[in-house]
Amino acid sequence: MRERTAEISRTFSVYLPNSLYQKLLDRAGRGRLNTFIRQVLEEKLKQEQDQKEQLKQQLIKGYQAQAKNKKLQVESKAMEQAQFEDLANE
12: in domain: no
37: in domain: yes
**What is the pLDDT averaged over residues 58-74?**
87
pLDDT of residue 7: 84
3-state secondary structure at position 90? coil
29: in domain: yes
How would residue 5 be classed by pLDDT, with cut points 50, 70 and 90?
A: low
Longest dimension (CA), the chain: 78
pLDDT of residue 4: 64
Question: What's the domain count of the chain?
Answer: 1
By the 8 A CB rule, do 24 and 37 touch? yes
Q: What does pTM read for this prediction? A: 0.60
- How far, in Å, CA of 59 to CA of 45, rounded? 21
49: in domain: yes
Question: Residue 26 sits in which domain range?
Answer: 18-88
10: in domain: no
pLDDT over threshold 60, residue 1: no
pLDDT over threshold 80, residue 31: yes
By the 8 A CB rule, do 28 and 35 touch? yes
